[in-house]
Amino acid sequence: MPPLGIAALLDAYFRRRFAAAGLVESSVDLDGGATTVHCWRFPPDDDAIDDARPILVLLHGFGPPATWQWRRQVGPLSRRFRLVVPDLLFFGGSRTSAPGARSEAHQAEAVAKLVAAVVAPRGPGPGTTVHVAGTSYGGFVAYHVARLLGPGRVGRVVLASSDLLKADADDRALLRRGGADRVEDVMLPRSPDRMRRLMRLAYHRPRRFTPGFVLQDLVQYLYNDKVEEKIELIKGITLGNKDQFELTPLLQEVLVLWGEHDQIFPIEKAFEITRRLGANARLEVLKNTGHLPQEEDPKRFNEALVNFLLPSPKSSL
């Protein structure tokens, strides 16, 4: 048996962190078995007891599966929330053969069905409400989940590093920064050089040097699966298409979180998105971070989520 590469070892370690946070793996069949969503979730028995922790759904961005992108969140957040952390369709163990557009709205429909399947209803009131947080592409999905399910089912919404106003001009600017001809060449690196370029875009403070063989191992392990389907997802994004998508305010309270030095979605977009989301939205900028503030400054990122989702009771004085 050949020795495991560093990516496989990291994957095993990150999975153990999810298990240590009290989460269990589950594969949920939807659409009569045509769609399977793999997720990490609070133990089913927790729904049978009087657990006062609210439910929080974490939606990852484009790239590695959920265990890689939320590994610094699940431990601290699981003490305050019952977590549901799915792999979006065509990431990790999630898949579908169901017909339909490969849009972020299509992803949101699968997430909504997953919530209905794993969160037992407790009648009207807070027991049936979930909070939703998404980063980057996951933020696109979170916005659609909030609109689809409405405030009766989705409580508060966190949109992190998520350019809901992304248009063709933004893609062209990203390609210039990434030195590529197509968005999929940036977001689905197929060589160590492309992987190194993506890391420089994603992190404000990337590692000074990562050996080429390590980058190749990461490319093979993380970006070599369901490539054609993921290209379809990129092409299926409806943002910027006025015939398919219009950014309108949500009825829920919204926190927009953004890294100060984001090179994927520059900080200027955060102010416009927050304004367009209306009076229920507020912006928090995390200094000295890039597109992945949840990795570069997990302490502040986690605190921002907790402070927004679990606000302190207002004084009666």
List residues bridging with 57 in a β-sheet: 84, 132
* Residue at 164 is within a domain: yes
DSSP strand pairing (130-135 vs 95-96):
unpaired
* Residue at 198 is within a domain: yes
Q: Distance between CA 140 and CA 274 in Å, rounded?
A: 14
Residues 6+ apart with CB under 8 A from 46: 82
**How much is the pTM?**
0.94
* Residue at 317 is within a domain: no
- CATH at 97: 3.40.50.1820
List residues bridging with 40 in a β-sheet: 25, 85
Which amino acid makes up residue 122? R
* Residue at 1 is within a domain: no
Instruction: Report whether 135 contacts 161 (CB < 8 A).
Output: yes
* Residue at 169 is within a domain: yes
Q: Distance between CA 233 and CA 225 in Å, rounded?
A: 14
Residue span of the structural domain in which 109 resides: 6-309
* Residue at 163 is within a domain: yes
Looking at the structure of the chain, the number of domains it has is 1
* Residue at 314 is within a domain: no
* Residue at 315 is within a domain: no
The pLDDT tens digits along the chain (317 residues) read 445 689 999 999 999 999 999 999 999 999 888 999 999 999 987 665 678 899 999 999 999 999 999 999 999 999 999 999 999 999 999 999 987 778 999 999 999 999 999 987 654 444 479 999 999 999 999 999 999 999 999 999 999 999 999 999 999 999 999 999 999 999 999 999 999 999 999 999 888 888 999 999 999 999 999 999 999 999 999 987 877 888 999 999 999 999 999 999 999 999 999 999 999 999 999 999 999 999 999 999 999 999 999 977 543 33
